[in-house]
Amino acid sequence: MVSGIAGDIIEIVNASLAHAVVAVDIPSGIDCDTGMALGTPVFASDTVTFGLPKLGLYMGAGTEAAGEVHVEQLIYPDILLEQSAIHAQLTEPPEFPERMRTMHKATYGKVAIIAGSPDYTGAPVFAAEAALTTGTGTIHLIVPQSIADVVRVKVDGPIVQAFAGDVLTVEALPHILELLEDTTAALIGPGLGRDPRTLEAVLLLATAFKGTLILDGDALFACVGHLDVLWKRDAPTILTPHSGEFARLVGLTPEDVEKGGTLSSAQTLAAQASAVVHLKGHRSLTVLPDGSLYINTTGNPGMAKPGMGDALAGIILSLVARGVAPDLATAQGAFIHGLAGDAAAEVMGEESMGTPELIMALAATIKELNAG
Ligand SMILES: NC(=O)C1=CN([C@@H]2O[C@H](COP(=O)(O)OP(=O)(O)OC[C@H]3O[C@@H](n4cnc5c(N)ncnc54)[C@H](OP(=O)(O)O)[C@@H]3O)[C@@H](O)[C@H]2O)[C@@H](O)CC1
Ligand SMILES: Nc1ncnc2c1ncn2[C@@H]1O[C@H](COP(=O)(O)OP(=O)(O)O)[C@@H](O)[C@H]1O
């Protein structure tokens, strides 16, 4: 805890009218490993840190206190960097190789999205549109019969496949598994709803599908109390919870979260499930099974809008399908998702931008990345 004269100095700095308050290494009053506030921290406009990004600058109270983070290089002996307990790096853009002249629409994989329910007809559309815009040519958008016509009106590119019923149930699984037979990667969960029959079906599907699987939204809800389903999967698994979903998934209390327990729980889950765990938030963290992580620094508060996570899941799906490894696909997907969000904010402003604008901006974002 900062107190006494140090606490008094922090109060004076925070009350000052200075244009810029620059913290060196980490704002005083922030735990560098967890981002927890140790009393009142300095609220900096910028933090300059050295060598490697400190996790406390991107988590908990640390994100607000650090302001804009600049990671500057000092010359460290390589051996020190290799031995560092911090195995974190900032995300970087994906490389989109030039599309082969001879390619066809399945060259970059065939993907499936199992999503939607009567209350949520937007989520499947956002995920599919984002995957299309990221370059995928063949998308099977698998939704309940009850919403198929609505979804067909909203999308043109994806092939909309309907399974019988109002919501996903076990009865639909044989049909869905048939559709998944030649699928490279699948996304399950956006807007599926939480009918108990749906939750049961999600668990069976996650066990039966042998390809790379991204679990998002209500598919994560289905795994609450059933994490063993994830241990049993042989194929790569990517989990994309926001912090509320993650706390529920692993049973963290608000006090655990307050004490900075989220990251270590994510590392434990990633290791136990051999999965990539992407913790969504202001600064998202992609945690790998070996405990190392990527910190994403793109994106803005205008992205705190419905459907942004669905679009992210679609982007990651598309990168996985074209052969990018699950960990990189997730970290790089988050990078371009945030970059597209920043581009959308330029045009529409943070207040008014929405998920359709992010998906529209994704096209120009990818084009710009390709141009180098
Ligand atoms: N148009 C459509 O079809 C759309 C359909 N969608 C679909 O809706 C389904 C339900 O998804 P969901 O995320 O709204 O519900 P849920 O899991 O209850 O979490 C919400 C609660 O969690 C908490 N919370 C804590 N941290 C948080 C954080 N970082 N980010 C966000 N929340 C955070 C927070 O609670 P609070 O902090 O207020 O106590 C909040 O109230 C799912 O299938 C999804 O795909 C959406 O994609 C939207 C567009
Ligand atoms: N303040 C913010 N700054 C940067 N990114 C944000 C912010 N708020 C939300 N996001 C991003 O937007 C997405 C929201 O996902 P999620 O909460 O699952 O939304 P939804 O369920 O509505 O699709 C995540 O990728 C998250 O990182």
Q: What is the structure's pLDDT at 236?
A: 96
Quote the radius of gyration of the chain (alpha carbons, Å): 21
- 46/49 Cα distance (integer angstroms): 10
For residue 168, pLDDT beyond 80: yes
Name every protein residue with a CB atom under 6 angstroms from any ligand 2 atom. 242, 280-282, 284, 299-301, 303-304, 306-310, 312, 337
Q: What is the structure's pLDDT at 81?
A: 73
Which whole number is the average pLDDT over 59-75? 89
Atom of ligand 2 nearest to the CA of 281: 27
Residue 252 CA to ligand 1 center (angstroms) comes to 17
Q: What is the structure's pLDDT at 105?
A: 78
Residue 122 CA to ligand 1 center (angstroms) comes to 13
Model confidence band, residue 355 (pLDDT cutoffs 50, 70, 90)? very high
For residue 215, pLDDT beyond 80: yes
Ligand 1 pocket member 218 (CB < 6 A)? yes
Mean per-residue pLDDT of the chain: 93
Residue 335 CA to ligand 1 center (angstroms) comes to 21
Q: What is the structure's pLDDT at 44?
A: 95
CATH code assigned to 4-86: 3.40.50.10260
137 is an annotated ligand-binding site residue = no
Which are the contacts of 332, defined by CB distance < 8 A and separation ≥ 6?
91, 92, 93, 94, 319, 324
Residue 72 CA to ligand 1 center (angstroms) comes to 36
Which whole number is the average pLDDT over 117-139? 96
Tell me if the domain spanning 110-371 has CATH number 3.40.1190.20. yes
Ligand found nearest the CA of 280 = 2
- 130/114 Cα distance (integer angstroms): 15
87 is an annotated ligand-binding site residue = no
Residue 309 CA to ligand 1 center (angstroms) comes to 9
- 126/314 Cα distance (integer angstroms): 8
Tokens of 114: 């199992």
Residue range 256-283, pLDDT digits in tens: 887 888 999 999 999 999 999 999 999 9
Ligand 1 pocket member 122 (CB < 6 A)? yes
Identify any residues that bridge with 140 across adjacent strands, giving them in sequence order. Answer: 112, 159
Where does the chain hold its CATH 3.40.50.10260 domain(s)? 4-86
147 phi, psi to nearest 5 deg: -120, 5
242 is an annotated ligand-binding site residue = yes
For residue 180, pLDDT beyond 90: yes
For residue 85, pLDDT beyond 90: no
Mutate to test the pocket of ligand 1, among 310, 355, 358, 359 (most ligand atoms within 8 A of CB): 310
Asked if residues 223 and 232 have their Cβ atoms less than 8 Å apart, the reply is: no
Atom of ligand 1 nearest to the CA of 120: 3
- 372/367 Cα distance (integer angstroms): 9
For residue 80, pLDDT beyond 80: no
123 is an annotated ligand-binding site residue = yes
CA 206 vs CA 128, 219, 229: distances in Å: 20, 9, 7
Residue range 9-53, pLDDT digits in tens: 999 999 998 889 999 999 999 999 889 999 999 999 999 998 888
For residue 1, pLDDT beyond 80: yes
Residue range 185-208, pLDDT digits in tens: 999 999 999 999 999 999 999 999
Where does the chain hold its CATH 3.40.1190.20 domain(s)? 110-371
Q: Whose CA is nearest to atom 34 of ligand 1?
A: 244
